Structure 1
């Protein structure tokens, strides 16, 4: 038989094999190529949980409306931890967060950076975060004639690393320290 590869019929009694195909670069059905926002948020909460437990605290997830927060018990008390996580770009929140009239004194925001290899944590007091969002948005509006430039009705608010840089690794706000720090003293 002198047929081209793939065009000849198999001999009688043999099994016909399917044609070879290049593997697909698409994920299998039902599997997303990039993690959903819920998966990214869950990864951030898990990372904060590990970091707190490493430092001697205990963690429990609690619902606050539609949001899941962490209830953290440390030697200095009980803390509410709001976790914002990013894999790239800025952290995302809403300008409504800056309108909070009574930020909780026993609450912090943990900005989790999963973007560049080693996980980094920026732990900031909630009153500071609320004020930062409010003043940053007011400054933005003042620079742009009192309204958003592109999406007039949007409530979206991005937070860049430079705004929270001073809160890198500030677990001491919760009364937690790295175990290595205790060994050094």
Structure 2
């Protein structure tokens, strides 16, 4: 365990096992239909996307958006699209891949943006859900783990761009950000 981590909330083994379960659910939900386009939100969702898609049993494509709403440990509520999709999504079903659903602001804005661009449907798959922090009502169709209101890092999640490479989800020691 990293010296600045107070505790591990979700182990690497748990993440892999749950990613397999979510991939099976998605595969079953889209059986006999055209495969959805997976749209991952940079940068945090990349490790989760990589683990998830290894287990999806259909030919899929993925693309990326880069959106920002955080400074330090707090969502500032101002959503900025820094990188848009590289292709048209008109008429496509989308699986929006996120690392964590926190306040709900980012996902609500991105989901509506994708629908406005002509997506047929937008479903959300998230590694983590933190419902106690929700200020905008949104629910993921596929959720890895529900967690308490603690600031977490690892497996893509960061604190000031650090700790993304940890293979687990952990809670930083308080002295790191207070």
Higher relative contact order (CA 8 A, sep 6+): 2
TM-score of the pair, normalised by structure 2: 0.27
TM-score, normalised to structure 1, is 0.26
Structure 1 or 2, whichever has the larger Rg, is 1
